[in-house]
Copies of this chain bind each other. A is one copy, B any other.
């Protein structure tokens, strides 16, 4: 239950984390890798940032149409503080971003009547198999008018193709705005669920084969593990439907109409995944049924055969007992053919019983 555990965390007493407080949080292990990608239709620049303070003091180049700052590693709290101040991130969003166990959601912060700049804050999770078990990692996306900030605990390969597409001149990504980039990031995460579902499909088939082959003692706990992985996937994908639906439905100044059409497509993918999850959950239920039935069938088979063996010998043992009696007046004992006749009766009885059992399909 490790994956589910990780969703339970001591939530900080005060709601939200003010910018000044971020720096005071305990520094975790490992460094953060911060990458800044600027691009427009004509030009692209990818820069690994070492001196963040220096970086934020300069304005972005004039030609840059969209800037994507991705932070891989949340341990360097001072870096996060600098970015939160520079990009005016809302305290509640910063808190959620640092907690790592938020349910997927999309929340608008700031805007006209607020002290903060209008930003859309999106939380979701990437999923991958680690040592045969599904594990998840929170990804936080801040979408501004021309800027996208992404935060995650470690670098994941899910967005590599997007970086490729940004480098590719003439791609739709290069021609579009920041909200299209945010959409593409979400799309990549959602699409990364399809191989996981494929793995689930293989696993279901494998489990079914194992059940029919022989009853491993821990097969039931394997099926339950399968169900829990499905629960985790569902925990991530189910709220994504609401997230994408709200992005598509509610107008927000940072999301362009052009992107909105693509969100409809993303919504379809999410619904498709949810459909498949529910199907696999049903199949998992069937597997448990098959397992239970197979175990009891196997046990019954054994008991049946053993009881049959016993049943054939019980009348014969009685017969042998009869002729072991010590009555003085016992006519059969003196017959010369009594002994062979006894064996004939024994064999005949056994064969007859086997025949009856077989005709009644008990064997």
Residues of A bordering B, CB below 8 Å: 1, 4-5, 7-11, 13-16, 18, 92, 95-96, 101-103, 105, 107, 109, 113, 161-162, 164-165, 171-173, 183-184, 187-188, 191, 194-195, 197-198, 201, 204-205, 212, 214, 217, 220-221, 224, 227-228, 231, 235, 257, 261-262, 264-266, 268-269, 271-272, 275-276, 279, 282-283, 286, 288-290, 292-293, 295-297, 299-300, 302-304, 306-311, 313-318, 320-339, 342, 360-362
Asked whether B314 lies within 8 Å of A315 as measured between CB atoms, the reply is no
Whole-angstrom distance between the alpha carbons of A327 and B302 in the complex?
36
**Contact of A279 (CB < 8 Å), options: B107, B221, B235, B276:** B235
Asked whether A302 lies within 8 Å of B304 as measured between CB atoms, the reply is yes
Whole-angstrom distance between the alpha carbons of A318 and B13 in the complex?
75
Asked whether B262 lies within 8 Å of A103 as measured between CB atoms, the reply is no
Asked whether B307 lies within 8 Å of A307 as measured between CB atoms, the reply is yes
Asked whether B325 lies within 8 Å of A320 as measured between CB atoms, the reply is yes
Q: Determine how close the nearest CB of chain B comes to the CB of A161; give it in whole angstroms.
A: 4
Asked whether A326 lies within 8 Å of B329 as measured between CB atoms, the reply is no
14 pairs, A vs B, C-beta closer than 8 Å: A7-B272, A8-B197, A10-B195, A16-B172, A217-B297, A224-B286, A227-B286, A231-B279, A295-B300, A302-B360, A303-B303, A309-B311, A326-B333, A327-B332
Q: Determine how close the nearest CB of chain B comes to the CB of A22; give it in whole angstroms.
A: 14
Chain B residues positioned under 8 Å from A16 (CB to CB): 172, 262, 265
Pick from A276, A283, A325 the residue with the most CB of B within 10 Å.
A325
Chain B residues positioned under 8 Å from A289 (CB to CB): 220, 224, 288
Whole-angstrom distance between the alpha carbons of A321 and B314 in the complex?
11
Asked whether B272 lies within 8 Å of A103 as measured between CB atoms, the reply is yes
Which 3 A-B pairs have CB atoms at the shortest separation, nearest pair first?
Answer: A320-B321, A323-B325, A13-B161
Whole-angstrom distance between the alpha carbons of A206 and B220 in the complex?
17
Asked whether B328 lies within 8 Å of A334 as measured between CB atoms, the reply is yes
Chain B residues positioned under 8 Å from A101 (CB to CB): 272
Pick from A113, A272, A289, A361 the residue with the most CB of B within 10 Å.
A272
Chain B residues positioned under 8 Å from A268 (CB to CB): 96, 102-103, 105
What is the count of identical protomers in the complex? 5
Q: Determine how close the nearest CB of chain B comes to the CB of A67; give it in whole angstroms.
A: 21
Asked whether B228 lies within 8 Å of A194 as measured between CB atoms, the reply is no
Q: Determine how close the nearest CB of chain B comes to the CB of A318; give it in whole angstroms.
A: 5
**Contact of A201 (CB < 8 Å), options: B1, B10, B105, B261:** B1
Asked whether B299 lies within 8 Å of A304 as measured between CB atoms, the reply is yes
Pick from A217, A288, A324 the residue with the most CB of B within 10 Å.
A324
Asked whether B317 lies within 8 Å of A339 as measured between CB atoms, the reply is no
Asked whether B103 lies within 8 Å of A275 as measured between CB atoms, the reply is yes
Given contacts A15-B184, A303-B304, A362-B302, contact A204 B329 (CB under 8 A): no
Asked whether A5 lies within 8 Å of B201 as measured between CB atoms, the reply is yes
Closest B residue, CB atoms, query A271: B103
Asked whether B333 lies within 8 Å of A328 as measured between CB atoms, the reply is yes
Asked whether B338 lies within 8 Å of A329 as measured between CB atoms, the reply is yes
Whole-angstrom distance between the alpha carbons of A289 and B293 in the complex?
11
**Contact of A342 (CB < 8 Å), options: B195, B293, B325:** B325
Q: Determine how close the nearest CB of chain B comes to the CB of A104; give it in whole angstroms.
A: 10
Asked whether B320 lies within 8 Å of A275 as measured between CB atoms, the reply is no
